[in-house]
A and B are shown apart, each in its own frame.
Chain A
Amino acid sequence: DAGITQSPRYKITETGRQVTLMCHQTWSHSYMFWYRQDLGHGLRLIYYSAAADITDKGEVPDGYVVSRSKTENFPLTLESATRSQTSVYFCASRTGLDTEAFFGQGTRLTVV
């Protein structure tokens, strides 16, 4: 299917475990982003990528790792999950800086 997809849609994990959230887009967009959305905070940028093998930190990067070996994939890894990382995570992509961002359907992560 064309578009941007995230997996899994829902995940429950234990404190201290490593978790990877997947993001895949079929448009070959250059720019990809990971946001988390929490009540009272809105969408906050975790990491972004301007192209394959180019990534940079956003507003709240601590505890997260990203990679982008292929243009279409942008996985987000929580190295050792904490309860404060319980959130809804959105992946997004854009073709250019003046264009809209398209969002995946989100991953609801609960850390217990």
Chain B
Amino acid sequence: GQNIDQPTEMTATEGAIVQINCTYQTSGFNGLFWYQQHAGEAPTFLSYNVLDGLEEKGRFSSFLSRSKGYSYLLLKELQMKDSASYLCAVRLTGAGSYQLTFGKGTKLSVIP
């Protein structure tokens, strides 16, 4: 089976930096997505990593190490509106390449 692990909850202070980790053990790997989901809303796309390394997009960055089965999402200069759940999702290979397999999500609370 596919296994994608993220911490369940995290708390961080406004203005700080927080790193949300995602580890995966899957039968194949074609890329990793990060989504943000505010309570009661739909997930929205943040980033997509296929190759090893860091992708930066404003206050958000995402890192991937394929050899270690590991990714993280880095949020800088935290704002209250960043309080949300963050979902990592793996695109598999072969017949599973159409789908995204999601982790259970990390609920981030930003406090003043």
Interface residues of A (CB under 8 A from B): 31, 33, 35, 40-45, 48, 50, 56, 58-59, 90, 97-98, 100-106
Tell me if B99 and A48 are in contact (CB < 8 A): yes
A42-B103, A43-B89, A104-B42 known; 17 new pairs, CB 8 Å cut-off, are A33-B99, A40-B104, A42-B102, A43-B105, A45-B101, A59-B101, A90-B42, A100-B45, A100-B48, A101-B33, A101-B45, A101-B100, A102-B45, A103-B42, A103-B44, A105-B42, A106-B42
With an 8 Å Cβ cutoff, the count of chain B residues facing the other chain is 22
Our pick among A31, A42, A59, A105 for the contact of B105 (Cβ within 8 Å) is: A42
The answer to whether residues A50 and B87 also contact, given A98-B50, A103-B42 and a CB cut-off of 8 A, is: no
In the complex formed, the residue of A with least CB distance to B44 is: A103
Tell me if B44 and A97 are in contact (CB < 8 A): no
**Chain B proximity of A15: nearest CB distance (Å):** 25
Our pick among A42, A48, A104 for the contact of B104 (Cβ within 8 Å) is: A42
User: In the complex, which residues of chain A have a beta carbon less than 8 angstroms from the beta carbon of B87?
Assistant: 42-43
**Chain B proximity of A26: nearest CB distance (Å):** 16
**Chain B proximity of A82: nearest CB distance (Å):** 23
Tell me if B42 and A45 are in contact (CB < 8 A): no
Cα distance A101–B33 in the bound complex, in angstroms: 9
The 3 closest A-B pairs by CB, nearest first: A42-B104, A100-B45, A103-B42
In the complex formed, the residue of A with least CB distance to B102 is: A43
Cα distance A100–B102 in the bound complex, in angstroms: 13
In the complex formed, the residue of A with least CB distance to B97 is: A97
User: In the complex, which residues of chain B have a beta carbon less than 8 angstroms from the beta carbon of A33?
Assistant: 99-100
Our pick among B89, B91, B102, B103 for the contact of A97 (Cβ within 8 Å) is: B91
User: In the complex, which residues of chain A have a beta carbon less than 8 angstroms from the beta carbon of B43?
Assistant: 43, 90, 103
**Chain B proximity of A64: nearest CB distance (Å):** 15
User: In the complex, which residues of chain B have a beta carbon less than 8 angstroms from the beta carbon of A44?
Assistant: 102
**Chain B proximity of A48: nearest CB distance (Å):** 6
Cα distance A16–B8 in the bound complex, in angstroms: 34
**Cβ contacts B72-112/A at 8 Å (1 or 0 each):** 00000000000000010101000001111111110000000
